[in-house]
Amino acid sequence: MDDLIIASRLVHFAAAALLFGAPLFRLAIAPQQEATRPGWELAASVAALLSGLGWFAGVAATMAGSFADAVAPDILRAVAFDTRFGHLWIARLVVLIAIVAVQFASEPTRGRDVVLAILAAAFAASLVGVGHGMTGAGHGPEVAHLHMAADMVHLLCATGWIGALVCLGHLLRAVLAGRVTVDTARIALRRFSAMGYWAVALLLVTGCINALVMVPRPASLIVSDYGRALLVKLAFVALMVAMAIVNRLTLTPAIMAGAQPKGVRTLWRSVLLEQGVAVLVLAAVAWLGTIHPVP
């Protein structure tokens, strides 16, 4: 059951990242450029729906004790209408339907991307309610509110960065294919770097706040399952940040100075590797959500 929940959470987080990162990329990084291949965002919506159903099935099976009992109408009704997970699941389904409706209903415009970014931000931020984002409630209302706010910012920065990273890779590939000019890539790289600084800074600050709530004792990082899983996640995040620094300080300046197409190809490959590490980060986050936090 945990395996289904972890796999579903991983796909769900990845889909949420692309749904938020793509319109954000078009709005703030590369205006008037397609951030993904046609159909990618719709595919992400479908993936979010299917993984959401898998996540729901895993929770229902956990409550019932087996997958066979999980399909009983009373169990499904109890999960959907008598749990916080179920209430948020229904609300998130409504938001996802709205995202698909906007994707189908209008031509690509800046206004459309604004609406998609707002809906996708709400979709991503609501993940706080189905993870450990409520843990701070045991420390009083002030800590609870701070923890929830920090977790929401953490999620938005992470999904925005990872989703936009996918779009950056697509843009660099388009430059190599001759569909986009290298000057456009230079503008996008400059803006992406600026966004990346803010995203990493906010991730560090909010991550520290979350850690103080979730892991009150440093020793818990070693002696508890949650602490060890958190260390795995932090190791992947550190690797991702290190790769981003290399991309920014070593590979990007060569493109800015005119090195092409070799410089673009090298950066594109590095961005692909960074995307792979991002998947590992999301996998660690999906795993963390199934482990009871340190008391």
How far is Cα 70 from Cα 74, in angstroms, rounded to an integer? 9
List of long-range contacts for 38-47, beta carbons under 8 Å, 24+ apart: 41/103, 41/116, 42/100, 42/103, 44/14, 44/15, 44/18, 44/19, 45/15, 45/19, 45/96, 45/99, 45/100, 45/103, 47/11, 47/12, 47/14, 47/15
| Percentage of the chain lying above the pLDDT 90 cut | 48
Look at 242 and 30; give whichever has higher pLDDT: 242
Q: Which of 77-86, 203-212, 279-288 has the highest mean pLDDT?
A: 279-288
Closest CA to 211 of 162, 274, 146, 161: 146
What is the overall mean pLDDT for the chain? 87
Average pLDDT rounded to a whole number, residues 184-212: 90
The residue type found at 90 is I
Average pLDDT rounded to a whole number, residues 209-213: 83
* Residue 140: Cβ within 10 Å count: 10
Average pLDDT rounded to a whole number, residues 9-17: 95
Average pLDDT rounded to a whole number, residues 19-41: 85
Closest CA to 85 of 12, 3, 142, 158: 12
Question: Which stretch of 38-42, 140-144, 192-196, 275-279 has the lowest confidence by average pLDDT?
Answer: 140-144
pLDDT band at 137 (very low <50, low <70, confident <90, very high): very low
Is residue 94 scored above 90 in pLDDT?
yes
How far is Cα 26 from Cα 230, in angstroms, rounded to an integer? 32
* Residue 246: Cβ within 10 Å count: 14
Going by the DSSP 8-state scheme, the letter that residue 128 receives in this structure is G
* Residue 137: Cβ within 10 Å count: 14
Crossing angle of helices 141-176/182-214, nearest 10°?
A: 160
pLDDT tens digits, residue range 278-292?
999 999 999 888 887
pLDDT in the model for residue 116: 95
**CA distances to 52, 95, 135, 275 from 46, in Å:** 10, 13, 30, 21
Enumerate residues 6+ apart whose C-beta is below 8 A from 178. none
Average pLDDT rounded to a whole number, residues 165-174: 94
pLDDT in the model for residue 4: 87
Which 3 state secondary structure label does DSSP give 153? helix
Average pLDDT rounded to a whole number, residues 78-87: 85
Which 3 state secondary structure label does DSSP give 207? helix
Q: What's the angle, vertex CA 245, arms to CA 240 and CA 247, rounded to 5?
A: 95
Is residue 140 scored above 70 in pLDDT?
no
pLDDT band at 1 (very low <50, low <70, confident <90, very high): low
pLDDT in the model for residue 136: 47
pLDDT band at 223 (very low <50, low <70, confident <90, very high): confident
Q: Which of 63-67, 144-148, 179-183 has the highest mean pLDDT?
A: 179-183
Extract the runs of DSSP E, i.e. beta strands, from the chain.
none
